[in-house]
């Protein structure tokens, strides 16, 4: 089976160096094993997403030489598919209506996976609780959209930041409810500043574009 990985940024801001590193690991892995590196723009949050941010992210990846395979996928364009899957979960009794929203039933059994970075990670189903996968306005929640898209895109390895570990048991509950095989999960640590806290603007530049401009400015100074 061909390895298929993806980078799935939300175009709600500039390309953070932490995101760029996640993209780099995905790209390196795909290129190393002769697999595919796909790019999915997670633009379901219409209020905060913009075409400008999408352009900046694509420019940053291109500047870094992280070329992607196949057509770019826009999550927002897949709404009908997300709704179809939510309805199917409802029809199968794996989810139920709650105030017009669709809520997944999470069985009270262990949810665990062998993380390729952390080793075994385990949660108790009781602690996950039934969660909403589609709002009453028929827009999907993040966990549903990600799982449906990863399945449809044939993603074999989900390689992303540690900040998503807490979403993974919910996503596994969705894979189980859909009767789908799990991808390999690999959660890479966040980038911290010298003080051990999550890298932020306090530590200096965090946007890939800032480094691009600094490099450009220095090159211009050298030339003059
Ligand atoms: N869109 C999510 C983010 O930017 C990533 C989703 C994922 O990698 O599963 O944090």
Distance of CA 7 from the midpoint of ligand 1 (Å): 8
Whether 142 shows a pLDDT value over 80: the answer reads yes
- Specify if 32 maps to a domain: yes
What pLDDT score was predicted for residue 198? 86
219: confidence class by pLDDT, cuts 50, 70, 90: low
Atom of ligand 1 nearest to the CA of 42: 1
> Ligand 1: which of 5, 8, 147 to mutate, most ligand atoms within 8 Å of CB?
8
The three-point CA angle 189-190-193 to 5° equals 125
What pLDDT score was predicted for residue 123? 97
What pLDDT score was predicted for residue 1? 84
- Per-residue tokens: 20: 């760029």
Report the run of H or E that residue 9 belongs to, with start and end: none
Using one digit for the tens of pLDDT, what is the confidence trace for 177-205? 999 999 999 999 988 889 989 888 888 88
From residue 37, give the alpha-carbon distance in Å to each of 5, 12, 28: 5, 22, 9
Distance of CA 140 from the midpoint of ligand 1 (Å): 15
- Specify if 82 maps to a domain: no
Cβ distance 88 to 159 under 8 Å? Answer: no
Dihedral sign from CA coordinates of 136, 53, 117, 196: negative
What pLDDT score was predicted for residue 52? 96
Residue 224 has a CB neighbour count (10 Å cut-off) of 4
Atom of ligand 1 nearest to the CA of 161: 8
Cβ distance 40 to 153 under 8 Å? Answer: yes
HEC sequence for 55-91 = HHHHHHHHHHCCCCCCCCEEHHHHHHHHHHHHHHHHH
- Specify if 40 maps to a domain: yes
- Specify if 130 maps to a domain: no
What pLDDT score was predicted for residue 65? 97
Output the ligand 1 site: residues, CB below 6 A.
Answer: 8-10, 42, 146, 160, 164
Residue 144 has a CB neighbour count (10 Å cut-off) of 26
- Specify if 13 maps to a domain: yes
Whether 29 shows a pLDDT value over 60: the answer reads yes
The protein residue whose alpha carbon is closest to atom 6 in ligand 1 is 8
Q: Please confirm, yes or no, whether 170 is among the known catalytic residues.
A: no
What pLDDT score was predicted for residue 107? 93
What pLDDT score was predicted for residue 224? 46
The three-point CA angle 117-120-126 to 5° equals 130
Distance of CA 6 from the midpoint of ligand 1 (Å): 10
Q: Please give the mean pLDDT across all residues of the chain.
A: 94
- Please give the Cα distance from 209 to 215 (Å, whole number): 10
The protein residue whose alpha carbon is closest to atom 5 in ligand 1 is 8
Atom of ligand 1 nearest to the CA of 7: 8
Whether 223 shows a pLDDT value over 90: the answer reads no
> pTM value?
0.94
Cβ distance 208 to 63 under 8 Å? Answer: yes
Domain total in the chain: 1
Using one digit for the tens of pLDDT, what is the confidence trace for 77-95? 999 999 999 999 999 999 9
CA proximity to 52, closest of 97, 26, 15: 15
Whether 119 shows a pLDDT value over 80: the answer reads yes
| Domain span at 213 | 4-76+141-223
- Please give the Cα distance from 37 to 53 (Å, whole number): 21
| CATH number for position 198 | 3.40.50.620
- Specify if 90 maps to a domain: no
- Specify if 97 maps to a domain: no
220: confidence class by pLDDT, cuts 50, 70, 90: low
What pLDDT score was predicted for residue 216? 63
Say which residue the tokens 């540690």 belong to.
162
- Specify if 127 maps to a domain: no
């Amino acid at each position: 089976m061909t390895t298929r990985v993806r980078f799935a940024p939300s175009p709600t801001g500039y390309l953070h160096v932490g995101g760029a590193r996640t993209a780099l690991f995905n790209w390196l892995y795909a290129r190393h094993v002769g697999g595919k590196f796909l790019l999915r723009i997670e633009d379901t949050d219409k209020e905060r997403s913009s075409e400008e941010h999408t352009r900046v992210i694509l420019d940053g990846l291109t500047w870094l030489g992280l070329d992607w395979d196949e057509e770019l996928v826009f999550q927002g364009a897949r709404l009908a598919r997300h709704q179809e899957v939510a309805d199917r979960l409802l029809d199968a009794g794996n989810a139920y209506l709650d105030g017009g929203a669709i809520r997944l039933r999470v069985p009270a059994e262990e949810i665990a996976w062998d993380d390729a970075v952390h080793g075994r990670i385990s949660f108790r189903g009781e602690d996950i609780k039934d969660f909403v996968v589609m709002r009453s306005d028929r827009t999907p929640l993040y966990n549903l959209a990600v799982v449906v898209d990863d399945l449809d895109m044939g993603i074999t390895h989900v390689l992303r930041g540690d900040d998503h570990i807490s979403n993974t048991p919910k996503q596994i509950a969705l894979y189980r409810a859909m009767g789908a095989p799990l991808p390999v999960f690999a959660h890479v640590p966040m980038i911290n500043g010298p003080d051990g806290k999550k890298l932020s603007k306090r530590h200096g530049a965090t946007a890939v574009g800032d480094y691009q401009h600094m490099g450009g400015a220095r090159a211009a100074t050298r030339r003059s």
